[in-house]
Amino acid sequence: MLIAGVALIAVVVYDAISTTLVANSAAGPLTARVGGGLWWLAKRIGAGPHSRIVAAAGPAILVTTILIWMSMLWVGWWLVFSADVDAVVATASGRPADGWDRVYFAGYTVFTLGVGDFRPSGRVWQFATGLSVANGLAMATLAITYSIPVVTAVTERRQQAATITGLGSTAQELLVSVWDGSSLRFLDAPLMSFAADINRTAQRHLTYPILHFFHSPDRSDEFALSVTALDEALTITITAVREDARPHAAAVKTARAAIGRLLGILETSFHDAAEHVPPAPDLTPLRAAGIPVVDDALFHDRLAVHDERRRILLGFATSSSWPWAGAVVTSVEPSSRAAGPRAQRPR
């Protein structure tokens, strides 16, 4: 029982530290499995991207993770204090505690209640009690200080999504909205701002891996679709729009680099690239607005260079149950380039 208890405590502490303190896209092994399983279940039960079940999955996973940490810690210390019949005794009578008494004793020491009906017997168990109090206090503090910045990060991510969506819900709408009749240079300043925001969010996904499980049932607040629309708009810009009408090359490069960094972090631990390349964006809305673009054949040839990036982007966009069409108006392509997202599952 002592070995099992110490092992359980070690697993919980390692998982909590890996999830909260280590800047890595992968959460701790326990948190990753619990979060991935609950997220998979929420998407299966929820009926599409507007489902409240999918929207509630992120907070539910966060709360469940913390409850599991504290429950396993409690069980671990109960096993430790059950390893010796004389480890815990009643304060008044000195009788050895029974099984339930030890559950009670482990609980109030881990949660630092200090009730005092039972006490450790002997120096070894007194030391163990001190460790359990310190362990419980550290874990509770870690859980609380982890939850608050996660909620803050979720709020800021939705704000970023809404800012991008303010220019346009789809890639084509975004480009048409910034077209001034001669160029797309209005995008220069927003792109630099978007790049800074997306870079910050990418780093937060490293620090708070659980952030990936937070999604919005409202299209305007959905970060994955907004970033997808922005990236596809930039892809259209560099492959279809006449060079003298494009935004500044440095602004485009900076924004695409930020999105690429985000996609790399998320693909590592949360979703795979789709098996197929998504359909090519439709250039008709751009032509109707007077934006100078190349013919479709040349556009499709140039677009092929970006197939791998667009497969990763498709996996990211559809990971929250939203369809690709929510971010990009697509055109009909040859069957050899037909696309369809693979059923995504978090790792």
Model pLDDT, residue 24: 67
Model pLDDT, residue 115: 67
Model pLDDT, residue 339: 37
Model pLDDT, residue 25: 59
Model pLDDT, residue 44: 84
In the predicted model, residues of the chain with pLDDT beneath 70 are: 23-26, 114-115, 269, 332-347
Model pLDDT, residue 14: 92
**SS3 per-residue string spanning the chain:** CHHHHHHHHHHHHHHHHHHHCCCCCCCCHHHHHHHHHHHHHHHHHCCCCCCHHHHHHHHHHHHHHHHHHHHHHHHHHHHHHCCCCCCEEECCCCCECCHHHHHHHHHHHHCCCCCCCEEECCHHHHHHHHHHHHHHHHHHHHHHHHHHHHHHHHHHHHHHHHHHHHHCCCHHHHHHHHCCCCCCHHHHHHHHHHHHHHHHHHHHHHHCHHHHHCCCCCHHHCHHHHHHHHHHHHHHHHHCECHHHCCCHHHHHHHHHHHHHHHHHHHHHCCCCCCCCCCCECCHHHHHHCCCECCHHHHHHHHHHHHHHHHHHHHHHHHHCCCHHHCCCECCCCHHHCCCCCCCCCC
